[in-house]
Amino acid sequence: MTTHAPIVHLRAAGVSLVLDVEGPLLPRVLHWGADLGPVDDAELLALRGASVPQVVGGTLDHPVPLSVVPEQSAGWLGTPGVTGHRHGGAFSTAFRVTGTTLGDGDRPGARRLTVHATDTAAALDLALDVDLLASGVVRTRAALTNTAATGAEHPDYTLSSVDLSLPVPTEADEILDFTGRWIRERAAQRKPFTFGTHLREVRKGRGHDATLLVAAGRTGFGYRSGEVWAVHVAWSGNSRIVAEKIQGGARHLAAGELLLAGEVILAPGETYTTPWVLGSYGDGLDEMSGRFHSLLRARPQHPSTANGRAERPVHINVWEAVYFDHDLDRLRALADEAAAIGVERYVLDDGWFRHRRDDTAGLGDWYVDEDVWPDGLHPLVEHVEGLGMEFGLWFEPEMVNPDSDLARAHPEWIMATGDRLPPEARNQQVLDLGHPGAFDHVLERIDAILSEYPVRYVKWDHNRDLVDAGHSPTGQAGVHRQTEALYRLLDEIRARHPRVEIESCSGGGGRADLGILDRTDRIWVSDCIDALERQSIEAGTGLLVPPEMMGSHIGSPHSHTTGRRHDLSFRAGTAFFSHLGIEWDLTSAGADDKAELARWIALHKRHRPLLHTGTVVRADHPEPTTWVHGVVDADRTEAIMAVVQLATGPSEAPGRVRLPGLDPDRRYRVAPLDPGGDIGDRTGHQRLSWWDEGVTLTGRTLDRVGVQAPVQLPEHLVLLHITAV
């Protein structure tokens, strides 16, 4: 049943989405981008007419539509929306719309178009949801159902892919995405949006090299200007994103789950539902990014003062302080030092469970090690809570060491293909959560630990790729099923222990998508705590994830992953904006360092409501050695900005830096934000004339002219506090 006009215009937060839903073909997007304002039906019909491409010689005799689910049967010869077959037949779909409805979505302020279509020849039904959320983010999802009769000649349908498409205009002639590796995630890369297909895939269940976003925009688009369109797949398994330009001139971004061969075979009556594919538009990366932040912050479970929940507690994680050396007296002493400087949560990392003296054994044996902890974890937990801190604990539930009681008792619970085991990584194999026995065992053990101890935080790790990941004994590909089981496991644990926060860690930032973040409270951005590396890692991750959901820790003076040394002010200032933590053996720190660290923690707590609810802004500074970023509060009365000197520049002084995101007509006082040391005078040069007393300028002047930045040593930063006067 159709309950609306043939062309639907959805509007939210400065974004318009115009869809041609007049059948019988699947809906086509006529415009996704800047708000068109109120548009009457006559103009929408005219827009449809003005959008039809010309038929040229040597092509089909009719214009080729690009639908949200593109079909070769309609003449589309780019990446198709649905691929699969029924014993070699039904390789190409030809859906015909049977009904469309327009109503409210499942999020406050959202509008949803739902389309139902069928292909009687292929015996498939399609249900398509297209949402425009209150944040201006477009969200799409499809459900494909096999309608063949049980007694048909070929009743099963082998599904290969379902990709959902959003077109982008001709102006989008440059692509931005991200690559990386362990301890170097989210490295940006750009290329022209040329003819052909730019394909980014995740084939290992996670990916430090995976891109959180693929964005297309005007060449040279930056943080503050240049139209940009980006898509993200909210899925924690295998995925793919396509940026494609065909000879007819059409270009689009398409995305979905990457299915391995034979991974989804639909029996009659069975349905496959895609992950949500999300698209965000903005005039500049900041606006595009801000829509994702707004979407996350609007969730009732979001860990932020914006929803009346507790502020993000300052952590200490003991991994780089003690590694596997779990000595109770040493851990108590570390807790004493942490509490003395204002830490609010203490997290015991890897090494607390049976046989776990290094990373070669014990994974999967989720029982407190009786040899190391004869009285259980109770003495440490009681000590931590007695100091006024919460207690957190590390798990890696999806993995197993071959040298473990669990693997020896249940080798059939290890993911494997046919008669072989996958290659080991970090001395680990993957536990098949799709096996009911394995799922129930892991749930029971985590539930038992969380029930026995007052754990308020779980660091949920995932330290290896899914390689050759199948189900025993059939050997069928199993990443899809594993991901669904992971979600069920997390959902059940959260239902049983609603006060427990969960961190998504995957060797750092290997799993940072919105599927996992819908079930967890933060990500561990990277295993690298080197503050210089973190500047770029967090800049890339922050395009999708808001600061309060990014774990960022102050490491020891000597980085354990890169060997670099940095001043405390640079390490602390780098972690300052995010969910702050410490990863440092404080028992070895000097009195001066601990005093300065306490001042940084106090400063972070004082400004935590702004840092974790404010709008993230970044400046397009022309010199790549200088990086300017910060947060501005909702009513633009206060901001904190960081001016970071990443390396030595070619000029003697960095020049003026612009401070974006402020109200252009208000006046602001700009002054250093100093936790107690003199972070503005580390070079021996004469001080800036405005540094001691601050300077008062309008937001327009600060954005268009800026202020002179201080000369800094490389790998240093200063914080600026900006307040309306």
**Cβ–Cβ < 8 Å for 307, 182:** no
Residue 696: CB atoms within 10 A of its CB come to: 14
Residue 642 has pLDDT above 80, yes or no: yes
Report pLDDT for 425. 95
Residue 680 has pLDDT above 80, yes or no: no
Report pLDDT for 206. 92
Q: 208: phi > 0 → left, psi -120 to 50 → alpha, else beta; which?
A: alpha
Report pLDDT for 654. 84
Q: Residue 178: CA atoms inside 13 Å, Cβ hemisphere, count?
A: 28
Interval 705-721 mean pLDDT: 93
Q: Where are the domains of the chain?
A: 7-297, 315-410+431-460+498-607, 617-724
The residues that are catalytic are 461, 527
Top CATH class of 7-297 equals: mainly beta
Q: For 617-724, CATH number?
A: 2.60.40.1180
Residue 94: CB atoms within 10 A of its CB come to: 18
CA-based nearest residue to 414, from 443, 434, 391:
434
Tokens found for residue 579 = 């969910």
**Cβ–Cβ < 8 Å for 108, 90:** no
Measured CA angle at 395 (ends 307, 414), to 5 deg: 125
Q: How many Å apart are CA 116 and CA 447, to the nearest integer? A: 41
Tracing tokens 């776990």 back to the chain, one arrives at 356
Residue 17 has pLDDT above 90, yes or no: yes
Residue 232 has pLDDT above 80, yes or no: yes
Residue 167 has pLDDT above 80, yes or no: yes
Residue 53 has pLDDT above 90, yes or no: no
Average pLDDT along the chain:
95
Residue 679 has pLDDT above 90, yes or no: no
Interval 534-543 mean pLDDT: 97
Tracing tokens 């004082």 back to the chain, one arrives at 606
Residue 23 has pLDDT above 90, yes or no: no
Residue 319 has pLDDT above 90, yes or no: yes
State which H helix or E strand residue 103 sits in: strand 96-104
Q: CB neighbours of 337 closer than 8 A, spacing ≥ 6? A: 586, 587, 589, 594
Tokens found for residue 664 = 């252009």
pLDDT tier, 682 (very low <50, low <70, confident <90, very high otherwise): low
Top CATH class of 315-410+431-460+498-607 equals: alpha beta
Report pLDDT for 3. 64
17 or 61, which is more confident? 17
Report pLDDT for 572. 97
Sign of the four-CA dihedral 493, 275, 142, 1: positive
Q: CB neighbours of 286 closer than 8 A, spacing ≥ 6? A: 223, 224, 616, 617, 618, 660, 661
The per-residue pLDDT for range 139-161, each reduced to its tens digit, is 999 999 999 999 899 999 999 99
The per-residue pLDDT for range 409-442, each reduced to its tens digit, is 999 999 999 889 999 999 999 999 999 999 999 9
Residue 559, SS3 per DSSP: coil
Q: How many Å apart are CA 21 and CA 24, to the nearest integer? A: 9
The per-residue pLDDT for range 105-123, each reduced to its tens digit, is 988 899 999 999 999 999 9
pLDDT tier, 309 (very low <50, low <70, confident <90, very high otherwise): low
State which H helix or E strand residue 161 sits in: strand 157-162
The per-residue pLDDT for range 354-397, each reduced to its tens digit, is 999 999 999 999 999 999 999 999 999 999 999 999 999 999 99
Q: CB neighbours of 17 closer than 8 A, spacing ≥ 6? A: 9, 10, 11, 29, 31, 32, 130, 132, 138
Residue 219, SS3 per DSSP: coil
Q: Which residues make up each annotated binding site for substrate?
A: 182, 349-350, 426, 459-463, 505, 527
- Would strands 626-632 and 638-645 be described as parallel, antiparallel, or unpaired? antiparallel
**Cβ–Cβ < 8 Å for 232, 296:** no
Q: Report phi then psi at 348, rounded to 5.
A: -90, 120
**Cβ–Cβ < 8 Å for 469, 478:** yes
> Could you give the angle at which helices 378-386 and 328-340 cross, rounded to 10 degrees?
20
Q: Which residues make up each annotated binding site?
A: 182, 349-350, 426, 459-463, 505, 527
Calculate the alpha carbon distances from 397 to 31, 519, 557, 694 in Å.
Answer: 44, 15, 32, 52
CA-based nearest residue to 317, from 331, 329, 298:
331
Q: What is the DSSP annotation of 43-85? A: HHHHHHHHHPPPP-TTS-SSPPP-BSS--GGGT--SS-SEEEE
The per-residue pLDDT for range 255-279, each reduced to its tens digit, is 999 999 999 999 999 999 999 999 9
Report pLDDT for 419. 83
Residue 535 has pLDDT above 70, yes or no: yes
Q: CB neighbours of 696 closer than 8 A, spacing ≥ 6? A: 667, 668, 669, 670, 725
Q: How many Å apart are CA 601 and CA 611, to the nearest integer? A: 13
Report pLDDT for 712. 86
